[in-house]
Structure 1
């Protein structure tokens, strides 16, 4: 798991070779950043750090750098981005690589160099001899979406990095309000840490007061008010979003998506699917499935069906221009207020 690799790096326990791949770019970038921070000091960066794009530079050129003794330091760090030859994906790159040279290097990696292959590829080609050899000789990190437990642990570790702690309830509320995007979570945790000040604890009250809500999270709260039958509160959120110049059509799209998610979660749960299975089936984060499952329990089947029909009508009206776009969602909320 990527968090375990980060712990090793912070202890300066380095592998001679890393392979970073996956669709969660934040985790790839953070791993690179940690390697740069802990493998080299500021003075060494100028002489012992290099980065190459393997869609433009032959692998043998990068390996020559890795085989060069470090200057004024203990080690060298070489980043090799876009190693497309480790995947089954087709690349437009015209660079030819002497992969035999890489195979030879892996037999006896330079003890003073760390080489890092990094690319936002969904998967590696496990059939390739080179991929298997890299797995044997180095550390392979799949940067995939963190599950709920991993996310919560990551939030705590990010807080600890800022020399503060965070309450369990605050962690839960943070994920509910800010979502699961790691870039956004990083910004929010760092901001809360500054507010709490070093050595103190981030509380749920601080999260409520300071965390910025994305449009998606505001829609989630709007939906939650509908779930709780607090239609007046849902109206207030909608009008606040309009004041923030959010586009009504975009609001409608996200609103429809949230109710579609609730409907799908309810149906799949009825068929016996667990939260992880549902997340994999409809390709959303398990934490979102957990929240949607809680909301789904508060709706009868016929109520959800009626809401889906109302949203389909609203979508048709928005596309045909049959009604003022701001009024479309108002009418949807008024009809809910009158009873689903």
Structure 2
């Protein structure tokens, strides 16, 4: 079941007796658990009917004892196990899960790791409760997710703004949401999220960011690329070289991929490259003219080399400052 379907059911007060929330993306687990907490009980009912336990400290006997109690002056009670990954006797909840209390909602939050449901306990959870795996988004899914999230806040974000936010905020959704909420608080409902607003409220420069840097390299704009390198060197915390290399690796990998499908139809090219619209394809078409297949491949090798150098790996360790590595890498990319 999708997290959105679970949220919709919870808001309608349609609760499962047991929720097992597991997986690597903690944002979705927190979102579902918080929504259940908000809707399972009224505020005045929580003092007597809400129990929060932590896996490091609790055992199955405490959980069962709490879950078997009757609610006090309320329709139901709520028991939440946080950090369930650390609970050594988690599987001992089997007897409870096989016959859960009809007046208790038990929420098990198993963050940062996918749970194996092959055990008797796992099979009982799937049979009696609601299981949700919180999978991290792929990088190419983040821009659309950002646009949808902003839409839920009654804000509009075009492809360029969504890509810029995704490029700099990354795929850690807790961090992404924190910045988007800050943005939503500071601009009027119904606004278009522009690069200027992003720069003003999140601190991403509309002129000096990885998104613009890769475009400058793609167009072989030597002056602009070198100007941006100087800015990155002056602001190393905002622009670490590993982030820049990762972004450029994705960019040139797509240029390389474009050459293999260049004669295909536009829909086929978009699907193969994982692009959302022809808006982005135009940029790759242009960059592919400046970087034929062999040169795109050479740039990818350069990026791998400097990724190792930046991490001080093996014979690639140079001891050079990041700024010097960035200058040298940029020069070599522009002169392949």
TM-score under structure 2 length normalisation: 0.75
Query: How far does residue 220 in structure 1 lie from its aligned partner after superposition?
Result: 4.1
1:66–1:209 distance in 2 versus 1, CA, 3 Å: same
CA offset at residue 293 of structure 1?
11
Find the aligned partners of 2:173 and 2:112 in 1 and give their Cα distance: 18
State the Cα deviation string for residues 203-250 of structure 1 (Å, max 9, x = none): 335345433449xx93343223211222322223222222224499x4
The superposition leaves residues 125-149 of structure 1 with CA deviations (integer Å, 9 ceiling, x where unpaired) of 2322322221222211110123666
2:99 matches 1:102: no
Q: Which runs of 5 or more structure 2 residues have no equivalent in the other structure?
A: none
Alignment match of 1:166 (pick from 156, 171, 181): 156
| Structure 2 SS opposite 1:80 | strand
Distance change >3 Å, CA 15–CA 167, structure 1 → 2: same
- What secondary structure, in the 3-state scheme, does the structure 1 residue paired with 2:209 have? helix
What corresponds to 2:62 in structure 1? 61
Find out whether 1:125 has 2:116 as its counterpart. Answer: yes
Q: C-alpha separation between the residues in 1 aligned to 2:271 and 2:56?
A: 36
* Cα distance change on mapping 1:131 and 1:239 into 2, 3 Å: same
Alpha-carbon distance in structure 2 between the residues aligned to 1:310 and 1:275:
26
Aligned to 1:329: 326
For residue 158 of structure 1, report the CA deviation from its aligned partner.
5.5
1:183 aligns with one of 162, 174, 177: 174
Between 1:74-83 and 1:27-36, the stretch displaced more is 74-83
Q: Which residue of 2 aligns with 1:17?
A: 18
CA RMSD of aligned residues (A): 4.0
TM-score (norm 1): 0.74
Q: What secondary structure, in the 3-state scheme, does the structure 2 residue paired with 1:116 have? A: strand
Question: Which segment is superposed worse, 52-61 or 134-143?
Answer: 52-61
| C-alpha distance after superposition, 1:82-123 (max 9, x if no partner) | 445xxxxxx7x6558644532443xxx322211011112543
Gaps of 5+ in 1: 85-90, 280-285
Displacement of 1:33: 1.3
Q: Does 1:152 align with 2:144?
A: yes
* Contact 1:177–1:213 (Cα < 8 Å) also in 2: yes
In 2, Cα distance between equivalents of 1:43 and 1:220: 49
Query: Matched residue pairs, number?
Result: 314
Cα 1:229–1:7 change in 2 (3 A) is: farther
- Separation in 2, partners of 1:177, 1:96: 38
